[in-house]
């Protein structure tokens, strides 16, 4: 049974500024075994919206491993969000382990669905202090809790630390349009494909919304114009365009879409973390 107590439970809170940021110190005599403490840090700056983070600590009796977790890949990207195409590298540290210590990872979604960690889903396996996930393992729209359990032969019991990585939503809210070329394109034996996202680029279609990133931090979007040409059971994929411009024109060579071929066109919109949405498929 866990007990939850407010800040009035601690009579001595020491605030300071360390080399890497704010530091909060609490005397060990103030903490009770079996009590779970939640700490919330809010940072404000003029001209910017405040940002907050929380840390939950469960106090246990005895000498147990003190485990610290960090998302190395998140720091490299400066964002703690994941999607299906995310590269995730987590690193664990035991700050008071003295002898041989062993780490074991577990993971689940916020909906309590277990994420299996093995050689097919990771490059490191679930045993060890580091965890590297294979790309494509995570699902769009799901947030995940990763937990590292550590035991040490010279210490009592098991220590653990968890980190929550929230989902990165793919772009949404826009419309894409595909139009064929006119007579000029046909005269030269070419077909013109023009893909554009209707937004503020075209005054005539201002009422149609443009795509935007629904993640915590809005980023530049990447647009792709893809063609698939099939003949019987054999298909070829062509990437006609991939870039940051939401409007693009392409000229296809003569005979590309002959009567013996089926041609499919799709437009995808993705953010810098790879969260993508198919905006058009025809």
DSSP state of 146: E
Q: Structure tokens of 140? A: 């769009």
Going 191 to 197 to 200 to 203, the CA torsion angle's sign is: positive
Return the beta strands (E) in the chain as ranges: 3-4, 13-18, 21-26, 35-45, 48-58, 67-71, 81-82, 89-94, 101-109, 130-132, 144-152, 158-167, 176-180, 191-197, 222-231, 234-243, 247-252, 262-270, 276-281
CATH class name, domain 176-281:
mainly beta
Question: In whole angstroms, what is the distance from residue 222 CA to residue 218 CA?
Answer: 13
176-281 shares the fold of 3-167: yes
- Taking alpha carbons only, the member of 267, 192, 171, 273 closest to residue 223 is 267
Q: Average pLDDT of 49-77? A: 89
Q: Structure tokens of 171? A: 């772009």
DSSP H helical segments within 21-164, as ranges? 72-77
Residue ranges per domain, the chain?
Answer: 3-167, 176-281
Higher pLDDT, 20 or 60: 60
Q: What is the CATH number of domain 3-167?
A: 2.60.40.10
DSSP reduced 3-state for 122:
strand
How much is the pLDDT for 183? Answer: 40
How much is the pLDDT for 136? Answer: 87
CB 120 within 8 A of CB 126: no
pLDDT tens profile 196-215: 443 322 222 223 345 566 55
């Amino acid at each position: 049974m866990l007990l939850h107590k407010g800040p009035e439970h601690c009579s001595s809170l020491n605030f300071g500024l360390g080399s890497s940021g704010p530091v909060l110190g609490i005397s060990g005599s103030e903490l009770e075994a079996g009590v779970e403490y939640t700490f919330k840090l809010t940072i404000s700056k003029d001209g910017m919206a405040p940002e907050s983070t929380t840390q939950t600590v469960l106090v246990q009796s005895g000498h147990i491993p003190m485990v610290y977790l960090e998302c190395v890949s998140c720091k490299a990207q400066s964002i703690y969000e994941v999607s299906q195409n995310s590269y995730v590298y987590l690193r664990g540290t035991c700050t008071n382990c003295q002898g041989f210590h062993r780490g074991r990872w577990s993971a689940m979604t916020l909906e309590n669905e277990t994420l299996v960690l093995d050689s097919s889903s990771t490059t490191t396996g679930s045993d060890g202090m580091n965890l590297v996930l294979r790309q494509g393992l995570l699902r769009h729209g799901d947030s995940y809790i990763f937990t590292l359990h550590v035991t040490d032969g010279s210490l009592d019991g098991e220590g653990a630390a968890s980190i929550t990585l929230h989902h990165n939503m793919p772009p949404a809210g826009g419309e894409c349009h595909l139009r064929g070329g006119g007579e000029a394109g046909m005269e030269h034996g070419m077909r013109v494909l023009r893909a554009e996202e209707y937004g503020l680029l075209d005054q005539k279609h201002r009422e149609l919304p443009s795509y935007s990133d629904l993640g915590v931090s809005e980023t530049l979007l990447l647009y792709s114009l893809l063609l698939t040409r099939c003949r019987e059971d054999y298909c070829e994929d062509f990437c006609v365009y991939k870039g940051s411009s939401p409007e693009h024109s392409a000229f296809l060579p003569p005979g590309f879409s002959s009567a013996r071929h089926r041609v499919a066109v799709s437009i995808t919109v993705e953010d810098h973390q790879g969260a993508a949405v198919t905006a058009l498929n025809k």
